[in-house]
Amino acid sequence: MEKSHGVIHMKICQSLDSAAVLMRFRDFLGGGIYRHSDRTGTKEATLQWKVHGTTMQHAADVLCKFPSMQRAQLQIAAGGAVARADRSDMIQTLKQLKQMDHVPTTFQSSWPYFAGFFDAEGSITVGGTYVGLHLQVHQKNPFVLEELHSFLLKHKLNKWALHSDNSRGAWKLQCRHRATCQLTLRHLLDSGLDLKKRQADLALSLTADNQMQVREAMFELNGNQNKYGRLDGPGIQRAKEISSVRQQLKKASQQERELLEVKLEGLLEEHKLQNLVTKSLPQMQLSCTTTMHETRGLRARYFATGLMVLYIVYNLLASQTFQGRLPMFLVVVSFISWVVTPVIFAPLPRCELIEQDLREFNGFINGRAGMSEKELPEVVERGQRGRARTIFECGLVDSVSYWTKMCQSPEGQMGQRSMRRKNMGTPMVLGQSRPAWRFRYDFQLLFLYIFGWF
């Protein structure tokens, strides 16, 4: 919700591969689809479905009829714009409804709800060392997972279990029993499972003969999800060997146990080392390539800056002699090439990034955010955290911080008393006694932002 106008927006973000979901929302509920974020490294590009105004009210009114964790928020959105007097309380209410401990007053689990929830939050993986499946759903709010767990138990799917995932600070509902997983997927397919339909069909076709083929096809459909945590072929063989040694330990005698424990320890160490190499090598290659490019780019800019300074000095000296001078076209081409070439021939998709940088830089310099008097507290708070949105906010926060410190210091308080006695109550205009070095600092700040962007 926009605090300044009280207008509520509804937004849904999806990766570029799942754009069909946003198309359905747009065709059924209206609104528009917009660009949300670009692809960066392993992070996929995302699109955003957004709706506001009367169309948003209609969409919220339709969606709040279905059971969901956001029903209370949708009911608020269906009421339209919020009055000025109620905006602060409404913002706090919406924040509370998004907390981890929120419990909806009315909630009812069903197979269609679980199908949509699994489409958004679920995952399907195929075992590497055994012919099996693993279904899991992560969520920070345990209430919805507890309700779904009870729902699955009522349908005799007793192999589902609810656990806390401390590594993510969330909860997970999971099942590793192959027959239960396949029966659950059949129910979900019959109830409208869409985004993960192809993964579900592959999981239902899993046998001992096609395990590796199904596993590889599942990885292709899952994209970058847990990309660097997957076991490759040698990793699966190592895991099988470790599992075999552990089974032998259960039946081994005391003399054999000592040898098997030493062997198991060596296998585990080798397995950890090879997994670390497998996970880190792609990231290290990308990091090394990027670092080498940045180093070469900095070195080229260093030489370009020196050559540019010499060229400017030569032109200034030549202009003082009132004589001719050499054009030095090769020198100009050299320092321009040293600046431009590292940007064009970068290892990353630079055209999109250059366009994004130009757009963000223009918004930073020419942006109008934070110019309203009502936004002053938010601007100061953002500036103190180092998250100013425009150069205007940077200068405003700097000025506010300077004068706040001046007024709180003993010298500033004495100066205020003397100014009041001198002006006989005339209000002091902000900036009349602003030191000259503060203005120079503002110009230096602007120069550093522009130079740092280049």
pLDDT tier at 426 (50, 70, 90 boundaries)?
Answer: very low
DSSP per residue over 374-400, as a string? GGHHHHHHHHHTT--SSHHHHHHHHHH
Contacts 24+ apart (CB under 8 A), 16-23: 16/44, 16/45, 16/46, 16/47, 17/44, 17/223, 18/195, 19/47, 21/194, 21/195, 22/47, 22/48, 22/49
Single-letter code of the amino acid located at 429: V
pLDDT of residue 90: 80
**Taking Cα atoms as reference points, which of 211, 155, 149, 212 lies closest to residue 186?**
155
CA of 240: how far to CAs of 260, 271, 338, in Å? 15, 11, 54
313/310 Cα distance (integer angstroms)? 5
Beta bridge mates, 47 = 14, 35
DSSP state of 292: H
Q: Where are the alpha helices (DSSP H) in 99-141?
A: 111-121
Burial label, 313 (beta-carbon count in 10 A; 0-12, 13-18, 19+): exposed
The pLDDT tens digits of the residues spanning 170-204 come to 889 999 999 999 999 999 999 988 888 988 999 99
pLDDT, mean of residues 8-29: 85
Instruction: Look at residue 83 and tell me whether its pLDDT is greater than 70.
Output: yes
pLDDT tier at 3 (50, 70, 90 boundaries)?
Answer: low
Residues 31 and 59 sit within 8 Å (Cβ to Cβ)? yes
pLDDT, mean of residues 269-278: 69
> Phi first, then psi: what are they for 161, rounded to 5°?
-135, 150
Question: Which residue did the predictor score with more confidence, 119 or 228?
Answer: 119
> Phi first, then psi: what are they for 41, rounded to 5°?
65, -125
Q: Where are the domains of the chain?
A: 9-97, 111-227, 363-453
Longest dimension (CA), the chain: 101
The pLDDT tens digits of the residues spanning 284-306 come to 555 566 566 566 666 777 777 88
- Which residue carries 């929302």 as its tokens? 25
- Topology adopted by domain 9-97: Endonuclease I-creI (3.10.28)
pLDDT of residue 285: 58
pLDDT of residue 41: 61
Residues 130 and 144 sit within 8 Å (Cβ to Cβ)? no
pLDDT of residue 229: 58
CA angle 202, 172, 157 (to 5 degrees): 60
- Which residue carries 């552990």 as its tokens? 246
CATH superfamily of 111-227: Homing endonucleases (3.10.28.10)
Matching fold, domains 9-97 and 111-227: yes
454/452 Cα distance (integer angstroms)? 5
Beta bridge mates, 35 = 47
The helix or strand, by DSSP H or E, that contains position 164, with its residue range, turns out to be: strand 161-165
**Taking Cα atoms as reference points, which of 336, 388, 342, 399 lies closest to residue 365?**
388
CA of 193: how far to CAs of 118, 122, 196, in Å? 8, 11, 6
The helix or strand, by DSSP H or E, that contains position 10, with its residue range, turns out to be: strand 9-15
Report the range of poorest mean pLDDT among 316-320, 370-374, 412-416.
Answer: 412-416
> What's the predicted TM-score (pTM) here?
0.56
CA of 3: how far to CAs of 52, 83, 84, 193, in Å? 15, 10, 8, 38
Report the percentage of the chain scoring pLDDT > 70.
Answer: 74
Report the percentage of the chain scoring pLDDT > 90.
Answer: 9
Single-letter code of the amino acid located at 263: K
pLDDT of residue 81: 77
CA of 99: how far to CAs of 143, 148, 171, 274, in Å? 12, 19, 14, 40
